[in-house]
A and B are shown apart, each in its own frame.
Chain A
Amino acid sequence: MKEYRTINKIAGPLVFVEKTEPVGYEELVNIVQSDGTVKRGQVLDTSDEIVVVQVFESTAGIGRDSGVRFTGETIKMPVSKDMLGRILSGSGKPKDGGPEIVAEKRLDIGGAAINPYARQSPADFIQTGISTIDATNTLVRGQKLPIFSGSGLPHNEIALQIARQAKVPGSTEEFAVVFAAMGITKEEENQFMADFERTGALEHAVVFLNLADDPAVERIITPRLALTTAEYLAFELGYHVLVILTDMTNYCEALRQIGAAREEVPGRRGYPGYMYTDLASLYERAGLIKGEKGSVTQLSILTMPGDDITHPIPDLSGYITEGQIVVNRELHRKGIYPPINVLPSLSRLMNAGIGEGKTREDHKKVSDQMYAGYAEGNDLRGLVAIVGKDALSERDQLLLEFADHFENRFVRQGHDEDRSIDDSLDLGWELLATLPEELLVRIDRDLIRKFHPKYRSKEA
């Protein structure tokens, strides 16, 4: 392999090489420093005059005397079933002292788009044991549902609880977890690893770790390695894979860093104009394929800078993912765990996964009714602050109480409390029963007669 010593510019993570033979776009590059260390990079722009290489590790130590080798192929990763139970670095190197991965296959990490015609509609209900997700923002197999959180909120605990408890009721199929950390701290890593070990989840997991002090640019490939592994496990080996990506905000920061180094015209708040397309190339790698056994379900975590849901990172994510679970600071301050605010939360695939034969026939209507009641009750809190509780009509007072009950009984649950969907819905009915029946306009009479505690107890 030819080695070039024609570096003419280094700027941040970018290395500019001149006078090369034709080099392919997105080709893998090895840069050899004078002390012998080899660093990896990827071609971002290629022409017969100059080639721009983005280096995944720190460019410290790279100089005009470093050698550049173009490998002639795009980045491929070795995958195999033995990856389960392994801990790898953000660029896929073993980090647990174990041997290198022996490849059963080498796959392009870019990942081709699933042909929409080949996709299968996700419709299998996943029970997470968390009421605010199961009953009101249902997760289904093959969905990409992110957790929108803020700094200092317990999103990691929620993600872990989901990873621990998630199951498809009545199914015994093989499952696996692919965990990709981008720029998280050592402490957060310990938290995740301790939990994986405690629950024995590590056996079924592949872990990719890019920590806060690892090179930022490496974060660009970490989620791609994780998703390539997930697709291999799902569509070649038939596993049901849950992918946890954390923290997408760090990924986007890395993207911005490269954009700035390339002197690109920035989009909103300095993030590159192609961030939507780039994020889509990650998030869209979830789903089911007709005729294939496995599935890829994505649960990504992102911290909203300043708790601002209109910030470009949560905003663009929300347009791609199939809903979002929003973690709320106010609920957290009230001491409620999990502090999920159902109002801005949403699961777009919910309707496909619920109802008769899947969960329960009253699921949709109960969920809608609780939303409506909680939204109205929540609004009334603002009014109470001004006029006092006594000035409210009887109806409004009931709604106000409903909102309190909703938070304290429905939202709140223990870290290890695994509620079945029946429990969650029954709890919903119990709360709805505190409201007069004529306020339940979103539920048909028949369902009210069948499920309302008032009529149920009569039957019993």
Chain B
Amino acid sequence: MKAESKGILKRISGPVVTAVGLDAHMYDVVQVGDEQLMGEVIRIEGDKTIIQVYENTSGIRPGEPVSNTGLSLAVELGPGLLTSIYDGIQRPLEVLVDKMGNFIERGVTAPGLSHETKWEFMPLVKAGDAVAPGAIIGEVQETNIVTKIMVPPKSKGGVVKEIKSGAFTVDEVVCTLDSGEDIKMMQIWPVRVPRPVTEKMNPDIPLITGQRILDGLFPVAKGGTAAIPGPFGSGKTVTQQALAKWSDAQIVVYIGCGERGNEMTEVLTEFPDLEDPKSGKPLMERTVLIANTSNMPVAAREASVYTGITIAEYFRDMGYDVSLMADSTSRWAEAMREISSRLEEMPGEEGYPAYLAARLSEFYERAGRVETLAGDSGSVTVIGAVSPPGGDFSEPVTQNTLRIVKCFWALDAKLSQRRHFPAINWLNSYSLYLDTLSKWYDENVSPEWNGLRTWAMEILQKEAELQEIVQLVGSDALPDEEQVTIEVARMLREIFLQQNAFDPVDTYCSMEKQYDIMLAIKLYADLAYSALKAGVAPAKIVTITAKNDLPQIKFTQDYKADMEKIHKAMEAEFAKLREALR
């Protein structure tokens, strides 16, 4: 560790302060003022050091001391992360309530992990085993998730000289190597540096989310990146939360970056009661929350996404699939803009700093499916919400994000106004993972799935074209076949695409059920087109009653028998229609 250096405050302007006489390096963590507020060096100019402060600076005066810790902003990684809720710089909010009451005051620090709790450590290697950096030497059964204890990536590795078993705190040595290096359960890692991996692999397994429009039409791969841009009120947060609830990742890191306090509280109260559809355990047990609400200090908001992704990478290194939700990356970009303008930097587009694109791509590039140092495979999927001002997708944050991410789920205020949820526009959205994932769908859902998907997209596209005509001349003026197409598209929209996140059954739809629903709509379409060819009037085809029961399938848990009935009823009704012709 570098020697501690001290300086004196010279200027205070909001979250940005200037110190002189400080011996500092970029991104060193410093303690500012008599109250020792936490800050980070963001610029060095001659003798002046410019610091962004993570806490409110009111009342701080020039002349107060500044000291440099010589460390960069880092998080504590180890047992105890799961179920925690942190602010942007990994201060546990639960502990802060005990320390300073209901409101967040400043100058209070608390370690990210509890240093008192004893965790039951189970060794997985024995004395004499050679361990490389990143190797797993033991585990702690934390919730229903096992936290694996690894040799820190920066260690040189070596041969295990002694390894213990039993209950330890995160500070106690659990393993000693022949090099004399002590290994503890806790690692400290600087947040702005990606954790190392052996190799990045191609993402070819989908992240199953239980959301029909996502899994069915625009899937994201495990280790992929996706962006959800949308104007306010279009359901970004509900979609993000649905993903946090139901995605089949083993670990979920949810970053509430500059968003509403009540929303974080909602997650906090809801997650402990919700069950993970796979393990049956409370969702909270696999979740780490980072909450830096919009009225918490802006510099800590800037740091929050790095804190979140570093925690995600840590779990990935254990071989887990992690999904990370950042809500919202626009607030993060705005934090950068605010700091940048206080620094009086030359602004780029719309006042955002010129390095906006670089920061965004660095962040998303930390996603990926990887071979870990220990040789397992793990992944971090990054799903970022974007809040474009005025719903205008041409603004810099949306545009720079789109250049990087592979999956785009375009939220649409028009749809949400009609209460079409999730309000994801099926015409503007896309996923570039379709090709790499098609093999998985072939093998795990049905060989017909990819064909069905393409068929559905064609119908929806066709409908959009037809709607333009309908807007002008009304639907009765369309040719017969196209009237049927409109009806099929309506079914796709209302039955397949619409999903009620608040209905206990419909909130999660398995891949099998998605396939069955799609198949039923296809069956109707096939029967309808062939009846049409046989000469049945379109008005009769469109109004058959058997398909009216189909929407109810969504809200039924054991739907198989009902589905069977609907198939039979549709076939019977169409047969009747054709018979009537003879």
Contact = CB atoms under 8 A, between A and B. Distances in A.
A318 B237 CA distance: 13
Interface in A365-409: 368, 371-372, 375-376, 382-383, 386-387, 391-393, 396
Contact of B471 (A285, A323, A382): A382
Contacts of A283: 294
A319 B387 contact: yes
B535 interface: no
Contacts of A113: 103-104, 261, 293, 295-296
A382 B467 CA distance: 13
Contacts of A143: 262
Contacts of A391: 473-474, 476-477
A374 B237 CA distance: 25
- Interface of A (DSSP majority class): mixed
A284 B419 CA distance: 27
A441 B547 CA distance: 12
A143 B350 CA distance: 31
Per CB-CB distance, the 8 closest pairs between chain A and chain B, nearest first, are A310-B390, A280-B294, A47-B11, A26-B58, A112-B103, A284-B295, A22-B61, A117-B93
Interface stretch (B94-102, B120-128, B512-520): B94-102
A143 B494 CA distance: 31
Interface in B142-172: none
A264 B341 contact: yes
Contacts of A312: 389
Interface string B259-271: 0111111101100
B103 A265 contact: no
Contact of A115 (B64, B97, B338): B97
A295 to B, nearest CB: 12
A318 B391 CA distance: 11
Nearest to B8: A48
Most B-side CB within 10 Å, residue of A265, A273, A319, A396? A319
Contacts of B416: 346
Interface stretch (B454-462, B548-556, B564-572): B548-556
Contacts of B413: 344
A74 B347 contact: no
Interface stretch (A98-106, A118-126, A199-207): A118-126
A441 B13 contact: no
A273 B262 contact: no
A383 B474 contact: yes
Interface in B320-342: 331, 334, 337-338, 341
B236 to A, nearest CB: 10
Interface string A16-28: 0000001111110
A47 B418 contact: no
Nearest to A346: B233
A45 B12 contact: yes
Contacts of A392: 474
A323 B416 CA distance: 13
A74 B58 contact: yes
Contact of A441 (B291, B350, B551): B551
A114 B294 contact: no
A89 interface: no
A47 B10 contact: yes
Nearest to A374: B418
Given A22-B63, A113-B103, A118-B101, 5 more contacts: A118-B103, A276-B258, A284-B295, A319-B232, A371-B417
Given A22-B63, A48-B62, A110-B56, A115 B331 contact: no
A376 B418 contact: yes
A287 B233 contact: no
B472 interface: yes
Nearest to A46: B12
A438 B548 contact: yes
A191 interface: no
B59 A27 contact: yes
15 contacts: A22-B64, A26-B59, A46-B11, A116-B264, A116-B291, A118-B103, A119-B261, A119-B265, A121-B266, A122-B262, A277-B298, A284-B261, A316-B389, A344-B413, A393-B476
B199 interface: no
Interface residues on A, range: 35 or more
A458 interface: no
Contact of B338 (A273, A316, A349, A387): A273
A368 B418 CA distance: 8
Interface in B408-447: 413, 416-420
Interface of B: 10-14, 18, 56-64, 85, 93-94, 96-97, 101-105, 231-233, 237, 256, 258, 260-266, 268-269, 291, 293-296, 298, 331, 334, 337-338, 341, 344, 347, 350-351, 387, 389-392, 413, 416-420, 470-477, 494, 502, 545, 548, 551-552, 555
Given A22-B63, A267-B337, A386-B472, A344 B298 contact: no
B351 to A, nearest CB: 5
A422 interface: no
Given A265-B351, A444-B552, A117 B417 contact: no
A214 interface: no
Contacts of A424: none
Nearest to A281: B295
Interface string A298-335: 00000000000111100110111011100000000000
Most A-side CB within 10 Å, residue of B231, B232, B548? B232
A5 B11 CA distance: 21
A193 interface: no
Contacts of B64: 22
B261 A24 contact: no
Interface string A270-283: 00011011001101
B93 A273 contact: no
Contacts of A22: 61-64
A117 B94 contact: yes
Contacts of B266: 121, 352
A273 B268 contact: no
Interface of A: 22-27, 44-48, 73-74, 110-122, 142-143, 235, 264-268, 273-274, 276-277, 280-281, 283-285, 287, 289-290, 292, 309-312, 315-316, 318-320, 322-324, 343-344, 346, 348-349, 351-352, 364, 368, 371-372, 375-376, 382-383, 386-387, 391-393, 396, 438, 441-442, 444-445
A399 B264 CA distance: 39
Given A47-B10, A112-B105, A114-B261, A24 B295 contact: no
Nearest to B471: A383
Contacts of B256: 116
B258 A280 contact: yes
A43 to B, nearest CB: 9
A445 B552 contact: yes
Contact of B351 (A273, A364, A375): A273
Nearest to B13: A45
A444 B295 contact: no
A95 to B, nearest CB: 28
Given A284-B260, A444-B555, A115 B103 contact: yes
Contact of A349 (B60, B63, B262, B474): B262
Contacts of B350: 267-268
B90 to A, nearest CB: 14
Contact of A46 (B61, B94, B477, B494): B61
Given A120-B265, A387-B473, A344 B419 contact: no
B115 to A, nearest CB: 20
A407 B102 CA distance: 44
A392 B470 CA distance: 10
Contacts of A116: 85, 93, 256, 261, 264-265, 268, 291, 293
Contacts of A320: 260, 294
A432 to B, nearest CB: 14
A280 B297 CA distance: 11
A112 B104 contact: yes
B93 A25 contact: no
A78 B477 CA distance: 72
Contacts of A438: 545, 548
A267 B390 contact: no
